[in-house]
């Protein structure tokens, strides 16, 4: 009997390894499908929880696209300004901006409603039950600052050198007039104070997303088509994306202030 028990224990780790490897692969697939489903379902719903979760996923998806565009600053003024030019002349830009604004408003309203429903817990322990609400104040303040600084900030003219190819966008002719957002970024991040306001604010946005993603998956994984095994993988995928987003957004002000200037 002892010999038989030792043989079984010898083979046990191999069996466990095979069992734990499968949920990881399946978890990645299920997480991708859950995110895609949330994006396609959009955030217009009468259910506050669904609106909160779907709008959060939509906003994270937008931030991924926005962060990728910000990284063009590493390629120099012509590339960065040309990318911004293509965004500006996009005929559906206004529709996208309106949809994005609705997404943020829906997320804020549903979040406030959920916080109101558990107001007694939030009041009793704000750092535990109200951390998403508290961090959302910083996120909203930063959004207002960001829009005021860049979207509605100073307008400098720039003439393209031409020949720059932007993936999925194309090229522009030499001498094309566009907004010099590269110069604006140099001007803004020349200030150590403004640079660190951005760094700290972006870190707060990342922390807000981290807490929100954890809560979304842990409380709603069944509605998202996940199970107990794939729930852990979905949380890990979200954490990786959020860390990459945070570092990607921080990279721009750090690069401008500490490398270019």
Domain residue spans of the chain: 31-74+91-154+180-260
- Residues 38-62: what's their mean pLDDT? 93
Look up the pTM and report it. Answer: 0.87
Question: What burial letters (b/e) apply to 118-133, b meaning 16+ CB within 10 Å?
Answer: eeeebeeeeeebbbbb
Name the band, by pLDDT with cuts 50, 70 and 90, for residue 7: very low
Which CA distances in Å does 183 have to 6, 85, 191, 246?
71, 14, 14, 23
Give residue 2's pLDDT band: very low, low, confident or very high (50, 70, 90): very low
pLDDT score at 92:
93
The Cα 11–Cα 7 span in angstroms is 7
Q: What is the pLDDT of residue 35?
A: 94
Q: 2-41 and 48-70 helices cross at what angle (nearest 10)?
A: 90
CA torsion angle for 217, 221, 227, 231 (degrees, to 10)?
Answer: -10
Examine the pLDDT at 196 and tell me if it is beyond 80: yes
């Amino acid at each position: 009997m002892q010999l038989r028990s030792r043989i079984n224990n010898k083979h046990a780790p191999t069996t466990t390894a095979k069992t734990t490897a499968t949920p990881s692969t399946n978890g990645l697939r299920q997480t991708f499908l859950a995110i895609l489903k949330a994006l396609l379902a959009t955030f217009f719903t009468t259910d506050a929880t669904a609106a909160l979760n779907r709008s959060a996923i939509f906003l994270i998806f937008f931030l991924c696209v926005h962060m990728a565009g910000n990284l063009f600053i590493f390629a120099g003024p012509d590339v960065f300004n040309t990318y911004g030019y293509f965004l500006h002349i996009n005929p559906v830009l206004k529709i996208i901006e309106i949809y994005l604004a609705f997404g943020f408003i829906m997320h804020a309203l549903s979040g406030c409603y959920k916080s109101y429903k558990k107001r007694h817990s939030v009041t009793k322990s704000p750092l535990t039950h109200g951390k998403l609400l508290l961090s959302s104040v910083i996120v909203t303040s930063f959004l207002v600052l960001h829009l005021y600084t860049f979207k509605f900030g100073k307008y400098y003219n720039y003439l393209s050198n031409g020949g720059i190819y932007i993936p999925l966008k194309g090229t522009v002719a030499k001498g094309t007039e566009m907004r010099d957002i590269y110069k604006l970024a140099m001007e803004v991040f020349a200030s150590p104070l403004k640079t660190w306001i951005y760094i700290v604010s972006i870190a707060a946005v990342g922390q807000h997303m981290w807490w929100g993603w954890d809560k979304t998956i842990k409380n709603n994984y069944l509605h998202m088509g996940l199970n107990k095994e794939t729930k852990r993988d979905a949380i890990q995928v979200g954490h990786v994306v959020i860390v990459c987003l945070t570092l990607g957004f921080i990279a721009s002000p750090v690069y401008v202030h500490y490398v270019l200037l």
